């Protein structure tokens, strides 16, 4: 019985040693990444914060969370891009239709009424272009708001997962630092993490 307990202790000690070695490797990698940052960000990322982040990365859960968040972000971006392309296509079609309608009306118009018709058509074209600009502005605002919400969702998820350095902020003065960390294994891909620093 003692012999079995001793072997279990050795296995546990070996596992602890591997975890500690991996922790130091991740911490070292994070420290190297931080060296390339502006000094204002470096000051915000203390040794303790980096050590806590390295600990959070040890079990691979954070990598899975980040991978899931990235997939959601890419799908959202693709969807928003498709919506914007669709709106752009609708606007192009609207302008082409208006152009053809104007051209047809000019061909049917009597010469003495042509200046009046062209003036009315110019006003109509300006109104349509104003509407298009307004719809594009509204679409762009919607896109920015949706992307901002995704960032908040990502921050919240990582904060709830207990990842050091992550918290919800909408403060534009707070810089966001993207960090790429490798897990040190071919089975775990490189993950991108975004730390908040000000």
Q: Report H helices in the chain.
A: 2-35, 39-44, 47-57, 61-108, 114-160
Pick from 7-16, 73-82, 141-150: least confident = 7-16
* Tens of pLDDT, residues 117-157: 999 999 999 999 999 999 999 999 999 999 888 888 888 88
Q: What is the pTM of this model?
A: 0.70
List of residues 6+ apart from 189 with CB closer than 8 A: 63, 67, 183
**What whole-number distance in Å separates Cα of residue 53 and Cα of residue 129?**
51
Domain ranges, ordered by start, for the chain: 2-197
**What whole-number distance in Å separates Cα of residue 154 and Cα of residue 74?**
13
Residue 55, Cα to own-chain centre: how many angstroms? Answer: 24
CB 187, CB 67: distance < 8 Å: no
The pair of three-digit structure tokens given for residue 60, joined into one six-digit string:
């691979």
């Amino acid at each position: 019985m003692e012999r079995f307990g001793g072997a279990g202790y050795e296995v546990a000690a070996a596992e602890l040693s591997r975890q500690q070695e991996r922790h130091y490797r991740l911490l070292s990698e994070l420290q190297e990444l931080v060296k390339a940052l502006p000094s204002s960000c470096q000051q915000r990322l203390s040794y303790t914060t980096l050590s806590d982040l390295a600990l959070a990365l040890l079990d691979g859960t954070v990598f899975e969370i980040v991978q899931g968040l990235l997939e959601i972000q890419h799908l959202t971006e693709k969807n928003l891009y498709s919506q914007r392309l669709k709106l752009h296509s609708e606007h192009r079609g609207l302008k082409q239709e208006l152009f053809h309608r104007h051209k047809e009306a000019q061909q049917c118009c009597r010469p003495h009424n042509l200046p009046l018709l062209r003036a009315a058509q110019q006003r109509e074209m300006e109104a349509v272009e104003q509407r298009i600009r307004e719809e594009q502005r509204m679409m762009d605002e919607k896109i920015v708001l949706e992307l901002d919400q995704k960032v908040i969702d990502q921050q919240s998820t990582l904060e709830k997962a207990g990842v050091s350095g992550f918290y919800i902020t909408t403060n534009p003065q707070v810089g966001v630092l993207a960090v790429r960390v490798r897990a040190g294994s071919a089975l775990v891909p490189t993950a991108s993490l975004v730390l908040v620093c000000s």
